[in-house]
Amino acid sequence: MIPWLAGRPDFPPVEQALEDPDGLLAAGGELSPAWLLAAYRRGIFPWYTEDQPILWWSPDPRLVLIPAHLRISRSLRRTLRQQRFEVRFDTAFADVIAACAEPREPGGGTWISTEIRQAYLRLHELGYAHSVESWVDGTLVGGLYGIALGRAFFGESMFSRRNDASKVALAHLAVHLQRLGFAAIDCQMTTAHLLSLGAEEMPRARFCAGLASWTNEGPGPGHWSCEGAAEISRNFS
């Protein structure tokens, strides 16, 4: 059994999360900025489908990418040097999260519900949620979005409509976060794809101990500048 949350974002200790399914901690609550920010600071995130209540998770181990450890293949480095994509920050957050919400296959579902989209759009308005976007000839073709708290970035989802579009966005994000002194990108759940890009599994206890300091250090909320993205592109040339 997991606790039902109501009233205030008083989450149980993450050590109480279930082993099966891995990381399920609690249900209920709401997706207001106060609840979401309190959750992320504790290493907790929401993940559920539209036919479920809000479910809160904190898996162990946690997949984490240190920005300086991003593994860039030869082909991706060539794409970055050729500057096939124009990369922008925070110019089309609503479009990015809408694209991430599209089913990956015909007839498939998505966990990024209308409720989720509205909640993260509110965080974007407040300067906590950010998008990194890949454009070609004025058309959005890939990108990602996530939450920045202090020196921690919590990646949520990415999409790609052209080869390497989301990887280019991730490469720019990693360089941008290095410049800002970020300590880690939270990738949440382990996948072979993210492992191939340099992400590593970290014990939950170590991850949460890091968050205790990371989320209280570094830059505060605010939208990111596109000028920084253009400067980052020159690093790969």
Identify the pLDDT of residue 235: 74
Q: What is the CATH number of domain 63-235?
A: 3.40.630.70
* Of 164, 184, 199, residue with least CA distance to 70: 199
Average pLDDT rounded to a whole number, residues 50-73: 95
With bands split at pLDDT 50, 70 and 90, how would you rate the model's confidence at 237? low
pLDDT in tens, 162-218: 999 999 999 999 999 999 999 999 999 999 999 999 999 999 999 999 999 999 998
DSSP letter for each residue of 110-177: -S--HHHHHHHHHHHHTT-EEEEEEEETTEEEEEEEEEEETTEEEEEEEEESSTTHHHHHHHHHHHHH
With bands split at pLDDT 50, 70 and 90, how would you rate the model's confidence at 69? very high
Would you call 104 helix, strand, or coil by DSSP?
A: coil
Name the residue ranges covered by the structural domains of the chain: 4-59, 63-235
Identify the pLDDT of residue 104: 73
Q: What is the CATH number of domain 4-59?
A: 3.30.70.3550
Could you give the CA distance from residue 180 to residue 228 in angstroms, rounded to a whole number?
A: 11
Write down the pTM of the prediction.
0.94
Lowest average pLDDT, out of 15-24, 97-106, 228-237, goes to: 228-237
Percent of the chain surpassing pLDDT 90: 86
pLDDT in tens, 91-132: 999 999 999 999 876 666 678 999 999 999 999 999 999 999
* Of residues 206 and 220, more confidently modeled: 206
Sheet of strand 4-5: strand arrangement: 4-5, 24-28, 55-57, 45-46
